[in-house]
Homo-oligomer: A and B are copies of this chain.
Amino acid sequence: MTDAMSQMIAEAGRLLGPKAEITDPSEIAPWVSDWRGRVHGASPAILAPASTAEVAEIVRLAAQHRVPLVPQGGNTGMAAGATPPADGSALLLSLRRMRQIRSISAANRLAVAEAGVILADLHQAAHDIGMRFPLTLGARGSCTVGGLTSTNAGGTQVLKFGTMRSLVAGVEAVLADGSVHSGLGGLKKDNRGYSLDQLLVGAEGTLGVVTAVALRLVPAVADRAVAWAGVDSPVRALELLRFLEARTTSVEGFELVPQDSLDLVLKHIPDTRAPLSGTHQWHVLIEATTADSNYAIAAEIERLLAAALQDGIIGDAVIAANEAQAEAFWKIRDTISEAERAEGQTLAHDISVPVADMPRFITDAAAEVERTFPGVLASGFGHLGDGNIHFHVRAASHAAPDWYEAEGAAITRMVDDLVTAAGGSISAEHGIGQLKIDELERLAPPGRIHAMRAIKHALDPLGIMNPGKLVRG
C-alpha cells in the first residue's frame, strides 16, 4: 500500500468513524468481485459514508491524496463497473448506508431517494402512498438507486416508461472537486445551461458520485393482464406489438421468447410448464396495466388478441387467469439465463438495433454466427419493443470446457460487428464498465471517444472517479 493510500484511509477513518471504514479483508471480499464472478478486484478498504457531506469530504481527501474511488451500490452490475482494479490501487466507496428516502409525494409525483436506497424499498415506499416507481428488474432486492442511475438501467417496463434517464427528474452528486451538484429541486422546466443531471445518468460514476436522485412516480397499477402468445417469427411478434400499440396504450411489457429458450426453461427450472399446448417457433409475453380500476384490462387484451388471431398475426394466445399464472408466465421469461447456464456454456450480449430492424437482425445474426462457429446455437430474447434483446450464443454440446475463453472473444467481436453494421448499440442497457471498454474503443467513431475523453478530463482532471471504467482517461 502506498503512503498516500494509508494516510487517506486513516483520515477517512477519523472522519467517518470505525463503523464506516472497513479494512477487514473478509468483510471486503464480497464486494471486490462482480456478482457474476467474472472480474476479481482488490481494495484495502471500503469507505461507507452516511451523508452527502461525508461523501464530499471523502472526495476531497481522495483528490488531495490522489487516491481513486470506485463508487458501489448493490454490486449487481453486468459490466463490472463497480469492481475495483486488481492491484488494490483504489478504494471502494459504498453508498449503501445512504438509504433514506428524503421525501415522497403523490401530489408532486416525485420521490427523492438517496443513492443507497434499494429498488424494492423504493417500490414499497411508492406503493405505500398509492403510487408506483415503474422501473424494475431482476436484481430489485439488492440494486440501488445510485447504481440504477449511474448505469441508466432498463428492465422489462421500459416500453411505456423509458429507462432511468426518463424517470430521473434530478440528480445530486459530489463532483471530483468535492463540490456538490444539486439538481433535486424538482423543477419541471429549467433551462439554465448544460444538463449535468443527464450527463451523470449513465456516466457510471466516472464524472462524480451520485448521492441522491429525484425520481418520477406514476399512478399505481389498479389491474394488470399478462398474456402469452405464440407466433411464427420475430416479424410477426413485432407486427403484434404494432397492432396492440395502435389500439391501446396499456402495454408496458413485450418480451420475445424463442421456443428453444422455452424448452430449456421447461427442462431445467422446476415447476414450469408451457403456457400454450401447441408448438410455436417464437413466443411473446405481454403485460398490460391500467391505473383505472374501472377499466377491464383483461377483457380488452383478450379482445385484441382474438382480433390478432383472426388477422393471422398470432397462432395462439392465452391470458393468465390469475396472479399465480401471471407470475408463472413471468418466471419463464426471468429464468431463461439460469436455464441456459444449467444447459452449458453461454455467451451473453446485451444489444440493441432500431426496433423495426430487430426481427431481421435476430434471424440474420443468429444464422451468421452459427455458420461461422459451427455447432454453436445463437438466439435472441427479451425486450423486442425496445429494440433490445439479449443475444445469447451457447456452446455446442461437444464444446471443450474452455470454449468460453477460447472462442468467446471472437464470437463477441462478430456479434458487436454485426450490431454496429446495423446501426445498433453493443450495450443497450448494461453499460460499458470494464468489460466492454475495449469493444467500445474499437467500434465507436473516433470523434465520440475524443469527446467523451474531453468531458472526462474536464470534470475529473485528477482521474480519481472510477478510473478505467467507461472511458480511458
| Residues of chain A at the chain B interface (Cβ within 8 Å) | 105, 107-108, 151-152, 154, 158, 163, 165-166, 175, 177, 179-182, 185-196, 198-199, 201-203, 207, 242, 249, 291, 352-356, 383, 386-388, 423-432, 440, 444-448, 450-452, 454-455, 457-459, 470-471
Contacts and interface: CB of A to CB of B under 8 A. Distances in A.
Contact of A383 (B185, B189, B191, B424): B189
Contact of A430 (B105, B175, B191, B426): B191
Contact of A180 (B105, B432, B447): B447
Nearest to A443: B192
A194 to B, nearest CB: 5
Interface of A (DSSP majority class): loop
Contacts of A199: 194-195, 198-199, 455
Count identical subunits in the complex: 2
A191 B202 contact: yes
A190 B458 contact: no
B455 A191 contact: no
B427 A192 contact: yes
Given A152-B191, A175-B451, A185-B425, 20 more contacts: A107-B242, A107-B356, A154-B191, A179-B451, A181-B447, A181-B448, A187-B424, A188-B352, A189-B429, A190-B427, A190-B428, A191-B427, A191-B428, A192-B427, A193-B432, A194-B452, A194-B471, A196-B451, A199-B455, A455-B458
A189 B425 CA distance: 8
Contacts of A356: 105, 107-108
A445 B352 contact: no
A42 B185 CA distance: 39
26 contacts: A108-B354, A154-B189, A158-B188, A158-B189, A177-B450, A179-B447, A181-B445, A182-B445, A187-B352, A188-B355, A189-B352, A189-B428, A189-B429, A190-B425, A191-B427, A191-B428, A191-B432, A192-B444, A193-B202, A193-B203, A193-B444, A194-B199, A195-B201, A198-B201, A199-B455, A454-B459
A193 B458 contact: no
Which of A158, A242, A249, A355 counts the most chain B CB atoms within 10 A?
A: A355
B177 A447 contact: yes
Contacts of A430: 191
A203 B192 contact: no
B151 A163 contact: no
Contacts of A191: 151-152, 154, 202, 425, 427-432
Contacts of A470: 193
A288 B473 CA distance: 50
A448 B196 contact: yes
Contacts of A194: 199, 202-203, 207, 451-452, 455, 471
Contact of A192 (B175, B192, B198, B432): B432
A193 B426 CA distance: 11
A189 B451 contact: no
